[in-house]
Structure 1
């Protein structure tokens, strides 16, 4: 899987997690989401969107690519 496919995969996983949280909130109320990892998912998606728009010549590109690969690997090892 190349980097673009990996980041797209990561964004799909985040989207699926967000939909699951929305279902929980709808069924049990917003208090059920206290202490959830929704803020972390939002930050990961923000980084993924920034990566997609980033010029590969940007000095942050390699580090962000590595970080997103590590996060995507976690999703691949522990699918929901």
Structure 2
């Protein structure tokens, strides 16, 4: 069985919850149309964890994403 790669786009974009799903679909379709790359998901700034110095915490972000959205994602 062939393992498929997944591509996730993490964006610093503040967005209302009403626009969340629509904007995700638009971005996924745009990226695929322009590059041919199919994104697995788009994660916006409000879903991201920040460190005390203001940087994105990649470890916490991945842990949250695995737990809530995509348990099959491997580190």
Would you say same fold, with TM above 0.5? Answer: no
Greater relative contact order: 1 or 2 (C-alpha under 8 angstroms, separation 6 or more)? 1
With the length of structure 1 as denominator, give the TM-score of the two structures.
Answer: 0.30
With the length of structure 2 as denominator, give the TM-score of the two structures.
Answer: 0.31
Greater strand proportion: 2
Q: Whose Rg is larger?
A: 1
